[in-house]
Each structure stands twice: as structure tokens, then as C-alpha cells.
Structure 1
């Protein structure tokens, strides 16, 4: 009897251990439908307009998790894990500067949105943001890519997907804030629907403000989960490390009061639990600075090692790819924003790379100036 009891306890503890290690939610999340999200830009254009200008044949997406996708979540997760080395820093596949990237990015975004709904992890929204701001926008803006190609079609379709991935809700009534773009959204909730305004100039700046509107008189008790992007370098176990600049802490204010300490949970979100009322505001300041990016698999002793011939940098969600055949890039000297900006108002980065010498740290190495536009405008 004693042995049997010990065996039962052992099996129970093993089951609990396995359960704790499992990434799956008990119930899937739901995206707030794209039709409930109105996006807009300071230049008078929104994502939908740009999408239809790219390909007028696209259809509005419906990002709902099907029963089959839920049942096949383990296979989807294995496919995601197996593709880790295929995904590049601009959100496509293969070589960073290989074109076009639209179709590859669309496939990975579709898988990322499925896995997010089953796991609720910010990693998948990090990827979606990276792919949309870089690989997708590059394909949309590529004047050498003919209209009507599968890459243009898929890129346009993914632009229509972005509003439908911005917010998600859980059965418990939690609200997930995933992506940052100017928008007005009607959020469904079991205690009463409400309107959430998001005002931001991302990625020109890292300031984001949310305002709760049209709330029920009694308010709504819920948890607002705010994604802290991987490019803030404040989360462990992300695909890339950021070097060349000291990470600056993100800050969040609720009705003017700073959340301190700022606690980021294991899934990459800051949770704010309270009874939300009309005109409540949440202000987020996400640090934007130029940083070199390297794979997270880079050994610690090579973290600050120079990079030869080609390097990737990042400013918020924007990726910049610099090429310099016969040159190396010093991690001690990160590029900085120039006085000029691109047609989209994004920063142009300027810096110095160095011609190869026998010793890369040689102070006599010849410097070569460079200026970069973000990958989406290349």
C-alpha cells in the first residue's frame, strides 16, 4: 500500500511538472475582429488603403482559430521550432537581403498568429511586428516587384491582417495589447463592450497612449496585458541579442502614476489589473535607439566581436541592413540617427565601418562613412 501511494504521488508530481512545462493555454484566446479596428495614419493613409493600393483583389481576413488548428497545435509548434534557423531578422526566410520576402513572411505570420492564440506568448507578436514592418512593407514598397505577383498579393493580405492581431481577449476577460498603431477599436467584454483609442507615432517615436471610452457606468474589472517588445532588450530568451547601446527601461503610467517596479511576466507582458473607467489612460514609453542585433546563440565572448561585410541594426521594430564588402563593423560604435528622415518619416542612420586590417581593433584602420534607410524603404 505504501509503495502504491508513493507511486501515485510520484506520477502526480510528474504530471504537474509536465503540465507546468507545457506552453498551451487551457482555452484559446480570441483576436478582436479586424472589422472592429479602425486604423489611421498622420499622413491621412491607413493600412487598409495601402493594402488595397497594392492589390485590389485581396479579401478581408478572418483570424479565428479553427478547431482543426487547435487540435494540430503541437504540430504547428514543431513546425515553428524547426523553422527557427530559416527565419531571418527582417521577418522573411533565407538571406536577409534576398528578395522578395512577402510570401515567406506571410506563411510565418499565419503560423505565428495560430500559436499566439494557443499560447498567449509575446514571441509570436514580436515576430509578426518584425515581419510586417520590414519584410511585408519592403515587398509592398518594392517598385521592381511587379503588381499581381504572389508576393505582392500576400504582402497586401498581411497588411489587412495587422488590425485583426492588435488585440486579443481571453475567456477570463483579459485584454492583450499586441501591436502598436493609431487606432480606435470596439472591444467586446462580458461586462460590457467599450472603445479603446490608441494614439502613437510608432516607429518614429516610442510613445503610445491608450484611452478607455464608452465604458459601462460601473466600469469593468479586468487585466490589461501590454506587450513589451523584444527589441527593448528587457526580455530573456528572445531570438536576438542587442548590442552597442545600453538598454533603456520602458516605462508605463496609469492615469499619470508610474508602474514601479515594472514587472514583465514569463510570456512578455506587463499586467495591469484594476477596475477600468471612462477616460482612464495608459501611457507607454518604449525606448527607441539604434542597436546592432546578433543571433541569441552568439557565445558571450563573441557578443562584442566585430562583424564583417554585412550587419543588421534595429531601431524599434525597424531593421536596417548594412553591407560593406572588405569592411568590418565595430560593436563599440553604433550608428546614430542622421538629421534627415525618409519619405515615411523614419530615421536614417549614419555610422562608420572600417576597412579590414590584420587586427580589426587597429586604431589606424580606415573609416568609411555609411548612411542607411530602413529595410522597408530600401
Structure 2
């Protein structure tokens, strides 16, 4: 059993990863300032697993607080989620994104150094690629992020790679997510965004639940099979299990490694909508809108490296992603407040 500090563990992917850690026999300690996380997830995790994670309320940029949490709980490894993640928002507040994402990662790395913690799993993103590459995209593709969010993640990867070069004992696995969707099959954990959702799936679920009049689909004239953008949607529990695999995989190897996390298959926006209509049994009202600046036609992962080196692959398909997302929305119409 390892004690694992999970920064941002009260958020969407972080909470599901805490659950997966407990189920794998580890003990997560959540550090979160609750600016984008929900404290209620801790009790929900307890209802599913019988164990409520320890909780430290702190800003991840507060190096002293992070170090104190590591020492107080005898932390052996860190999974670092805490940060901001909305591409469009990052263009409006780039300094806020660099502060949260880059300065937060530096604080975590410095605290690890002082606490003699040498194993880190870092929450990165396919946004580091920027979308210019032909799909499927593998880890050798050039990094050309097109937004402050993507650039902040690329900066974090660079500084962590340099830290590994300076410290031969340090091991960092950077996990580049493609498009996380879904929820835990119990219906107790799911995506509960603050304010207007920045991702597609919660917009779809809110239309199905009557919380939103219609879905805006940006771009219907891309050179794809139905004209809408194609992305690689991956179930949040598959992502959670990937963090456990990264935590225990490659134990003999220090240094920096990056892995794509996706299904390896592209799904169009309309295909996702049709799959969700099948899952919820009702039509999703939608309207085609002009393309948004910066959006690309198609991007999906080559995730074979994660399978070869971590023993991980996405196991849950589109039908399960939609069914679990709908169960969460149906059973929690007010999110964690209900």
C-alpha cells in the first residue's frame, strides 16, 4: 500500500482516481482548494469504497502547505491534477493559467524534493500537440500548443523533464489525456462543472436533462465523415486506472516519460450525440454554429505506448461512456449539491 498525495483530488478526474487508488489498495490524501473541486466527493468515495480519503484544504501553489501535507501523511508518491483546464478561458486569463498550472507544478516539485518523494504522475493534455499533426498522434509528435492552457502544460512537462535530468532518482510519468467523459457506474461520482460547461459531454447531458435548451455544435463543414469535429473520447474510469498503472508501472526506471491516454479511435460530435440519444432514450436538440477559431477537424490518439510500457489500455466503449454519463446526470440533477 502506498500513501499518495492527490492534488486536485476533489475534481472530476481526481475524484475518480482516488476511488481507483483505494480499490487498488492504496491510500489517497486529497489536497484541493475547492476552487474547482467539490468536498462532497469525499463522502461519495467513502460510500463506494468504505474509505473516505484524508483531506487537506490548500492552494497547490502554497509550497509550505504541500510540504506539510506530505510530511504529515508520510506520502510516498504524488499524482498532480490541480490546475485550470479550459482552453477558451485560458485565452482570456493567460496569467491566471500560468500561475495555477506552472507555478503550482513548481511548488509540488519543490515540496517533493524537500520531502524526499521521488515518484510523480502528472496530469498533462493532448493540448500540448496543438492539433497540427495527422491522427493518430503518438508521443513523438512535435509539441506545438495553440493556447495558453496547452502552453502551460507543455511548460510543466519541460520543467519536470529538466528536474529529472538534475535528479537521477526522480521519476515522472506525464499522462496526456485526450477527451475525458463518463462517470462512475454507481452514479455517485461524475462531472459537475462550475458555471457554464467548457466540455462537450456535460453540455449534452444538460440538454437531455432539460437544464439547457439545445446543444451548440460548432462547425458542420469539416473534412470529416459527417462534417463535425472528430475527437478521442475516453472513459474517466479508464483514465483513473491509467494513473494507478503509471504509479506502479516502470518502478525500476527513473526519468521522464510521456504517455497518450485515449481509445485510439476517433468519434465525431454527431456520433457522440447519437450514442447519447440511444443511452438516454430521448432526442438531443441541437443547432449547427460556425466554427470556432482554433478548432481543428480531427484528433485522436495512438496510445500503444501506454499499453506496451504501463500495461494499460482503454476498456470501456462509447456506449458505456454515454450510459454512465446519463446515469450521473439523471440521478444528480443538481450535481453534488443535490
Question: Larger Rg: 1 or 2?
Answer: 1
**Higher RCO (CA 8 Å, separation ≥ 6 residues):** 2
TM norm structure 2: 0.33
Q: Which has the higher strand share?
A: 1
TM norm structure 1: 0.30
